[in-house]
Structure 1
Amino acid sequence: MEHIQIKGLNKPVSKLIMGSDFFNLSNGPVVSEILGHYLAIGGNCIDSAHNYCGGESEQAIGRWLDETGKRESMVLFTKGAHPKGDGPRVNSEAIRSDLFTSLERMRTDYIDLYGLHRDDPNVPVGHILEALNEHVEAGRIRAFGGSNWTHERLQEAADYAAKHGLIGFSFSSPNLSLAKPNEPFWAGCVSVDSEALRWYEANQFPLLSWSSQARGFFTGKFSPDVRDNADMVRVFYNDENWLRLERAKQLAAEKGVSMIQIALAYVISQPLPACALIGPRSEAEMISCRDGAQIKLTREELAWLDLTGAAV
Structure 2
Amino acid sequence: MASVKERLAEFSREAHELYLNQSVPYLEDPPDPLQFYRDWIGPNKPCIIRNAISHWPALSKWTPEYLRKKVGSKVISVAVTPNGYADAVDGDRFVMPEERKMSLSAVLDIIEGKVQQRGVFYVQKQSSNLLEELPELANDLEPQIPWMSTALGKSPDAVNFWLGEATAITSMHKDHYENIYCVISGEKNFILLPPTDRPFIPYGVYQPAVYRQRDDGEFEAVDQTNSEKVPWIPLDPLDPDLDRYPQYGRARPIHFIVKAGEMLYLPSLWFHHVQQSHGCIAVNFWYDMEYDIKYNYFQLLEMLCGFPGST
Q: Smaller-chain TM-score range?
A: under 0.3
Higher RCO by CA contacts (8 Å cutoff, separation 6 or greater): 2
Name which one, 1 or 2, has greater alpha-carbon Rg.
2
By percentage of residues, which structure has more helix? Answer: 1
TM-score normalised to structure 1 length: 0.26
By percentage of residues, which structure has more strand? Answer: 2
TM-score normalised to structure 2 length: 0.26
